[in-house]
Amino acid sequence: MKNTPHEPTHSRRRFVRNMTLGAAFIGTGAAGSMAAELAEATRGGERKLGVVLMGLGLYSRGELGPGFKHTKACRLAGVVTGSHAKGVKWSRKHGFPERNIWSYQTMHEMAGNPDVDIVYVVTPNGLHAEHTIMAAQAGKHVICEKPMASTVAESDAMIAACRKANVKLSIGYRLQFDPYHIELDRIARQKDFGTLTRLSGEHSWTFTERAWRIEKTLSGGGPMMDVGIYVIQAACRAAMAQPVAVTARELPKTRPELFNEVEEAVEWTMEFPGGVSCHASSSYSRNNNFFRAEGAKGWIELNPAYAYRGIEVNTSRGPLSLDGVPQQALQMDDFAACVATGRETPVGGSMGRDHMAVIEAVYKSAAEGGRRVEVAKA
C-alpha cells in the first residue's frame, strides 16, 4: 500500500524500537496491537512478508488461506503442493504468480526468492521434520503446524536445522493468540482465583473413515497427537509450568478394525510443580471440547475451548465476552513481527519440543500399564 499525504511514515528504526518494547507484553493481549504496528510500517515502505503454504489440505483451504484476508503483516506468496493444477487454482484465487508454485521435489528452488520470507508447513505430522528442515535449508523462516513432529528426536533435529540456517522456527499454536486463552493466562498469573491447582480438559471428536490421521507413519499417533495436544497446551498455560510426570492408560477400542495402528482414546494425568494436577482425555469416538481450571477462590471453564471460533468462557464470577480477530491471522502476523524485528516467537520450537516430551511420556505410561513416567527435560 502506498502512502497518501495524510499517512504518517514510520522509520524502520522507530518501528523496530516500538516492536521490541512491546514484545514483553506478548501473551497479555498485545499480539494484535503489535501486528497493527507492523502494518503501519508496511504503509511506510515496509512490504508485507511473503508466506508460502506447504500442503493444501483442509486446514490450509478452510482456515489459513482465508486467514490472509485478515493479516496486516503478511501475505500469501506461493504454495508447495503435489498437484500443480491445484497450485494454479490457488495462484488465481490469491493473486500470486504461477512461478511461486513448487512441488515437494522442487521446493529447494525457492532459496533466494525474494517473494518468500516464511514457509508454513501444513503437511501430515510424520512429514513435519523433513519439510521443516528442507524449508530451513532453503533459507526461509518456518511455521510448523502442531504437533511439532512425531518424536522428541525429530523436534531436536528441526530446532538444530533452523539454528544452523539462522532462521526462526514457530509452532502453529493459534490458541496462544486467542483472547480467551490469553485471559486464562492472565487469571493464572494474577491469581484471580488463587493458584489454579485442579485442572481438567478433553478434546475429542468422532472419526469415521480411514485417512492419514490414523496411519501411524503419517500421524505419529491417534487423538493424543491430533487434538490431545491442545489440552496439554492449555494445562501448561494454567499451571504456568511444564509437567514433571504423567500417568496414562489407553481405553479399550470399540472399533479395532479402524484404529488398528493408533489409539482410539487415551486418558492421562499430568503432575505439575506445587501440587498442581490435570486430568485429561482425548478420543476419536466421542465429542467433547472443554478445559476447566479451579483455584481456592473460584474457577474458569472454556467450553468449547479449542475451536477456531465461537469459544465460550464462564467463570465463578460470571461469563466472559471478548472480541477477537481470527486466531490464524494473529498467529501469522505475530511471527511476521518476529521475523521483522528479530524478537523471539512466544510459540517457538522449544515449546513444541516440550509438548512432544509430554506426549512421549503419555504413550510410554499407557504402554506400561499406567506406570508413572517422568517427563524428559530438554
State the pLDDT at residue 239.
98
Given a cut of 50, the residues of the chain with pLDDT beneath it are 1-32, 35, 41, 43-45
State the pLDDT at residue 21.
27
Cell of 138: 532453503
213-226 per-residue burial string, b: 16 or more CB within 10 A, e: under 16: bbeeebbbbbbbbb
Within the chain, what is the greatest distance between any pair of CA atoms?
A: 70
- Rounded CA-CA distance 172/68 in Å is 15
State the pLDDT at residue 376.
94
User: pLDDT for 107-126, tens place per residue?
Assistant: 999 999 999 999 999 999 99
Stated pTM of the model:
0.90
Q: Domains in the chain, please, with CATH?
A: 12-172+332-337 (3.40.50.720), 179-316+352-374 (3.30.360.10)
Tell me the angle at which helices 327-341 and 31-43 cross, rounded to the nearest 10 degrees: 60
State the pLDDT at residue 82.
97
- Rounded CA-CA distance 215/222 in Å is 8
State the pLDDT at residue 38.
57
**How many Cα atoms within 13 Å fall on the side-chain side of residue 193?**
25
What residues pair up with 120 in beta bridges, in sequence order?
Answer: 53, 143
